[in-house]
């Protein structure tokens, strides 16, 4: 097995990535020695920002130390299981004997699960004792040396364990210069509403970078509050972001923000008479996932969204629209309002296809008027569609071949297909052949 190369020396590798390209652009990258405070609101997905930083660091051969006051080692081991090069990750566990109060639910990790975790786990048996914690952390710093990446998951958790802001501030003022001298980059997370303004101001004074994650009018926003040594006016303006399947998406640079996704899924599910449990079972998810999705507490992966789209008979684009379009509520479509549709399955000029409904989103049927000029032969089918199809010949004559059998349709004749697909269509009469074609569920061309 080939060895991974060591990280580049500080003189060469001056730019350090957060693992999120657009964030790197705003920052001008991190610099060696940076201490980064994340001031966060609840539900701002700070854990995803941390994961990007950890994964990028591990991929590039840097050791990572994760100092946990807020999460059990079992929970973290599950979250980290797919990360690369986990042997280079050290978990400093201050939760089990801290907020976890040595509960057997948490201590059993050391009896059952620790052996299966590739990384190193160091348990602080009395994290309430600041000196004991500092000894454990100092030992790791000496062992790992310079260029190590650090993540402190909760200054707020430290404050709760140590009994106040004074001890937390004392530790921070001790550690920041030390970590700076070790040429590290360290993330520090604090919950905005859990600290006094003076405490936050003191921390901002010491640190090099301060990033704020907050919610406003339902939006998730990122804002730079301090960038020592950087000069960028735009970086200090709030940036809207979304989280999709562990990805950070910034709509302003091409991402797309689905509006009221949960409400749309809830409405479609109820319209079809499905319970959350039934919908979850039919698409291989859990009822809890559907419940959280409908409350807009989580965002689905692309795979989950496609499964929901198929089961709810709704094209995926409906979930991504910025609100409801007026056409969704239009009941009557006049002949001059019909939308011309061009399908990949057909060559230009083979057929004229008009959509007979205002839109296909949130509908159970999709209707077309198909006109084939005299002498036209279409090999294959009009649509690549999984579902039922109904045809009614309005005028002319048309021959259709299904499973090797030819059928001649005359005005007034109809055709219903469930699983079979026509292999050939021919205008067999004089003049145009006009066919009414209905699909269920819609294929989503509108």
Distance CA 35, CA 46 (A): 16
Mean pLDDT of the chain: 83
Sheet holding 120-123, edge to edge: 120-123, 89-93, 64-68, 149-152, 185-191, 35-40, 209-216, 219-227, 239-244, 247-249
Query: Is residue 224 predicted with pLDDT exceeding 60?
Result: yes
Least-confidence region, from 53-67, 165-179, 348-362:
348-362
Least-confidence region, from 226-230, 257-261, 380-384:
257-261
Query: Is residue 332 predicted with pLDDT exceeding 90?
Result: no
Predicted local confidence at residue 187, as pLDDT = 97
Predicted local confidence at residue 74, as pLDDT = 92
Distance CA 115, CA 127 (A): 23
Least-confidence region, from 85-89, 128-132, 136-140, 378-382:
378-382
Task: Give the side-chain half-sphere CA count within 13 A for 416.
Answer: 1
- Lookup: tokens for 31: 């610099």
Closest CA to 164 of 127, 199, 125, 126: 199
Predicted local confidence at residue 4, as pLDDT = 41
287-294 helix and 261-271 helix, angle to the nearest 10 degrees: 120
Q: Rounded to 5 degrees, what are φ and ψ at 389? A: -135, 140
Query: Is residue 8 predicted with pLDDT exceeding 50?
Result: no
Q: Which of 6-10, 62-66, 228-232 has the highest mean pLDDT?
A: 62-66
Q: How confident is the model at residue 12 (pLDDT cuts 50, 70, 90)?
A: very low
- Quick one: 431 exposed, middle or buried, by C-beta within 10 A (0-12, 13-18, 19+)? exposed
- Buried b or exposed e, range 145-155, using 16+ CB within 10 angstroms: eebbbbbbbbb
- The percent of residues above 90 in pLDDT, for the chain, comes to 43
Predicted local confidence at residue 446, as pLDDT = 37
Q: Rounded to 5 degrees, what are φ and ψ at 412? A: 95, -15
Predicted local confidence at residue 257, as pLDDT = 45
Task: Please state whether the predicted TM-score (pTM) of the whole model is above 0.75.
Answer: no
Q: Rounded to 5 degrees, what are φ and ψ at 206? A: -85, -40
With contact defined as beta carbons under 8 Å apart, do 437 and 367 qualify?
yes
Predicted local confidence at residue 381, as pLDDT = 81
Least-confidence region, from 75-79, 146-150, 153-157, 438-442:
438-442
Mean pLDDT of 256-263: 63
Residue with more model confidence, 252 or 259: 252
pLDDT one-digit tens code per residue, 293-306: 887 767 777 778 88
With contact defined as beta carbons under 8 Å apart, do 424 and 434 qualify?
no
Percentage helix, strand, coil for the chain under 3-state DSSP, each rounded to 5: 35, 25, 40
Query: Is residue 327 predicted with pLDDT exceeding 60?
Result: no
Domains, in order of start, for the chain:
21-253 (3.40.50.300), 261-323 (1.10.260.40), 329-440 (2.60.120.10)
Query: Is residue 330 predicted with pLDDT exceeding 80?
Result: no
H-only helix segments in 302-445: 302-311, 317-320
Q: Which of 25-29, 313-317, 389-393 has the highest mean pLDDT?
A: 389-393
Predicted local confidence at residue 263, as pLDDT = 81
CA dihedral 243, 247, 253, 259 (to 10 degrees): -30
pLDDT one-digit tens code per residue, 52-71: 999 999 999 999 999 999 99
Mean pLDDT of 201-205: 91
pLDDT one-digit tens code per residue, 267-279: 888 777 788 998 9
Q: Could you please report the per-residue DSSP string of 415-438?
A: EEESS---SEEEE-SSS-EEEEEE
Query: Is residue 145 predicted with pLDDT exceeding 50?
Result: yes
Residue with more model confidence, 255 or 288: 288
Sheet holding 377-379, edge to edge: 377-379, 424-427, 398-402, 405-409
Mean pLDDT of 303-318: 76
How many angstroms separate the Cα of 7 from the Cα of each of 61, 89, 141, 143, 369?
6, 15, 17, 16, 64
Q: How confident is the model at residue 284 (pLDDT cuts 50, 70, 90)?
A: confident
């Amino acid at each position: 097995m080939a060895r991974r190369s060591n990280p580049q020396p500080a003189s060469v590798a001056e730019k350090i990535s957060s693992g999120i390209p657009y964030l790197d652009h705003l920052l001008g990258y991190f610099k060696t020695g940076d201490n980064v405070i994340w001031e966060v609101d609840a539900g701002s997905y700070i854990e995803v920002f941390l994961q990007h930083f950890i994964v990028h660091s591990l991929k590039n051969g840097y050791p990572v130390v994760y100092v946990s006051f807020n999460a059990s080692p079992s929970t973290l081991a599950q979250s980290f299981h797919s990360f690369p090069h986990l042997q280079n990750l050290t978990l400093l566990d201050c939760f089990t004997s801290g907020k976890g109060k040595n509960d057997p639910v948490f201590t059993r990790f050391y009896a059952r699960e620790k052996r299966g975790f590739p990384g190193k786990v160091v348990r602080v048996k009395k994290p309430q004792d600041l000196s004991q914690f500092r000894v454990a952390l100092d030992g790791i710093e000496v062992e790992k040396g310079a260029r190590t990446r650090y993540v402190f998951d909760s200054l707020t958790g430290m404050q709760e364990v140590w009994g106040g802001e004074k001890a937390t501030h004392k530790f921070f003022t001790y550690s920041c210069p030390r970590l700076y001298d070790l040429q590290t980059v360290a993330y520090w997370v604090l919950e905005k509403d859990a600290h006094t303004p003076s405490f936050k101001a003191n921390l901002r004074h010491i640190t090099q970078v301060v990033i704020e994650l907050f919610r406003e009018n339902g939006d998730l926003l990122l804002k730079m509050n301090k960038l020592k040594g950087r000069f960028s006016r735009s970086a200090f303006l709030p940036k809207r972001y979304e989280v999709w399947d562990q990805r950070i998406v910034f709509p302003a640079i091409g991402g797309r923000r689905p509006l009221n996704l949960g409400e749309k899924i809830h409405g479609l599910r109820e319209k079809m008479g499905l319970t959350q449990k039934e919908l979850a079972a039919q698409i291989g998810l859990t009822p809890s996932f559907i419940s959280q999705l409908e409350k807009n507490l989580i965002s689905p992966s692309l795979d989950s969204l496609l499964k929901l789209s198929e089961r709810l008979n709704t094209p995926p684009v409906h979930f991504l629209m910025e609100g409801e379009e007026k056409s969704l509520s239009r009941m009557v479509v006049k002949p001059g309002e019909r939308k011309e549709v061009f399908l990949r399955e057909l060559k230009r000029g083979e057929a004229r296809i008009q959509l007979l409904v205002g839109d296909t989103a949130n509908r159970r049927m999709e209707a077309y008027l198909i006109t084939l000029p005299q002498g036209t032969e279409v090999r294959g089918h009009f649509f690549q569609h999984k579902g039922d199809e109904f045809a009614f010949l309005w005028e002319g004559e048309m021959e259709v071949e299904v499973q090797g059998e030819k059928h001649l349709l005359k005005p007034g004749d109809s055709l219903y297909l469930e699983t079979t697909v026509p292999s050939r269509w021919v205008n067999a009469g004089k003049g145009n052949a006009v066919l009414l074609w209905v699909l269920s569920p819609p294929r989503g061309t509108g």
